[in-house]
Amino acid sequence: MSNLYGRRVLLGVTGGIAAYKSPDLVRRLREAGAQVRVAMTAGAMEFVRPLTFQAVSGEPVHHDLLDPAAEAAMGHIELARWADQVLVAPASANFMARLAHGMADDLLTTLCLATEAPIALAPAMNRVMWANAATLANRDLLVRRGIRMIGPGSGDQACGEVGEGRMLDVPDIVAALTGDPAEPGPLDGTRVLVTVGPTREAVDPVRFLSNRSSGRMGFAVAAAARRMGAEVVAVAGPCAVSTPPGVERVDVETAAQMHEAVMARAPGCDIFVGAAAVADYRVAEVPEAKIKKNDDTLTLSLLKNPDILQSVAALPDPPFTVGFAAETHDLRDHAEAKRRRKSLDMIAANWVGRAQGGFEGDENALEVLWEGGGRSLGMQSKAALADALMELVAERYHEERGSQDSR
């Protein structure tokens, strides 16, 4: 991944003097756009108190595998499923040995066995412990199983010795997680335009019509495209979500402003993803003064807003155009009808108004449809979902571009 925007990072902290660096690691990960939760071993709590991590993460700290309150709902499994990335820093020799041999005798080792997320370790120990044949064998076994080693570094150690085994500095650990991939991404060389969030349509100088879109899914799509190598511009309606690193943001308020910003940029892009929840209608006449509450009823005359998706798809040389559809019933039928009506290359449909997914939440699921095919993307974090969606978009984009180039 080229950044951590929107990613759910589970930080494991084990016993060792290097644990004093881990609160700063939480802060740096959050600055990089990640959501962070912390799981501590008993040894870690001898060096740093859980309250410190709670203060810097803004989340409860997890440390007890047999916590009756959490385990009533299988808390350790839920936490393992929550994570998009597991990072253990510092990772002690004892922890590496237990993980290498499949131990699940505390919360952190159990989480590592129960998660499907990638795992990275930042080892920290005395230089002789790191050089011990048992530690090196455990390291090699963990690497063969797909676990990533970040460090250790070499230098002065807390014991007064000098050598390999010290935990990397916090910026270096974050850089290792956010560094650009060594190989080109599937969207290298492409220009991607994404619309994000809601629009607002004024009723009077103090009131407006809008919707419940938070902008999280749209910015997750922008971040995913950027991770995959694209040059990304996000045209965003009013939302409080931060901009992913490397993404150019254009702020607008109304549907008309979003339409104007998109149409000025769409002819120069390769892929357009309309993830914004654009208002279908605007108030016909907006008074200059606040409307007073004088009558029992109020009638507003509404005019239809320009259709951004349809306008992009109708360009003489349109980009690969992806729409979103939020539905309360007949999801696939309504989405496919919208795709055909607007001549879209692909549409991503999700339920709204249900207990899970949709607006405002951290998770979502999508039914993705295209001419002659489709795929279901199950409930997961919006960051992970955006990655899966953009992988599909890249696949379909290259297939269609390849078939057009061969004509």
List, for residues 369-405, the tens digit of each pLDDT value: 999 999 999 888 888 899 999 999 999 999 987 655 5
Contacts of 49 (CB under 8 A, 6+ apart): none
Residues 147-193 have pLDDT tens digits of 999 988 877 766 667 678 889 999 889 988 876 544 568 999 999 99
Domain count, the chain: 2
Residues 146 and 230 grouped into a single domain: no
Report how far residue 281's alpha carbon sits from residue 256's, in angstroms, rounded to the nearest whole number: 10
- Residue whose pair of structure tokens reads 């970040």 in the numeric block: 150
Residues 249 and 393 grouped into a single domain: yes
| Percent of the chain whose pLDDT exceeds 70 | 89
- Top-ranked range on mean pLDDT: pick from 93-97, 217-221, 382-386: 93-97
Residues 196 and 150 grouped into a single domain: no
Q: How much is the pTM?
A: 0.67
Burial of 53 (0-12, 13-18, 19+ CB in 10 A): buried
- From residue 147, alpha-carbon distances to 86, 117, 119, 316, 391 in Å are 10, 10, 5, 48, 23
Q: Kindly state whether residue 184 falls inside one of the protein's structural domains.
A: no
- Which token pair is 369? 């449809």
Task: Quote the pLDDT of residue 264.
Answer: 96
H/E run at residue 221: helix 216-227
Name the active-site residue from 112, 159, 239, 269: 159
Determine how many CB atoms are found less than 10 A away from the CB of residue 202: 15
Whether residue 144 is predicted with pLDDT greater than 50 in this model: the reply is: yes
Residues 68-77 have pLDDT tens digits of 555 444 456 8
Task: Quote the pLDDT of residue 159.
Answer: 65
Whether residue 121 is predicted with pLDDT greater than 80 in this model: the reply is: yes
Does the active-site annotation cover 269? no
| Percent of the chain whose pLDDT exceeds 90 | 66
Residues 115 and 222 grouped into a single domain: no
Domain edge (last residue) among 144, 178, 212: 178
**What residue numbers bound the domain in which 138 lies?**
8-178
Residue 24 CA from chain centroid, whole number:
21
Strand partners, 380: 364
* Average pLDDT in the chain: 88
Task: Quote the pLDDT of residue 246.
Answer: 79
AA letter at 125: M
Q: Kindly state whether residue 295 falls inside one of the protein's structural domains.
A: yes
Half-sphere exposure of 213 (CA within 13 A, CB side): 26
H/E run at residue 93: helix 93-100
> What DSSP letter does each residue of 377-407 carry, written as one string?
EEEEEHHHHHHHHHHHHHHHHHHHHHHHHT-
Residues 172 and 204 grouped into a single domain: no
Residues 165 and 201 grouped into a single domain: no
Strand partners, 281: 304
Task: Quote the pLDDT of residue 157.
Answer: 67
- The CATH code of the domain that includes 292 is 3.40.50.10300
Whether residue 407 is predicted with pLDDT greater than 50 in this model: the reply is: no
**Span of 68-77, 113-122, 346-355 with lowest mean pLDDT:** 68-77
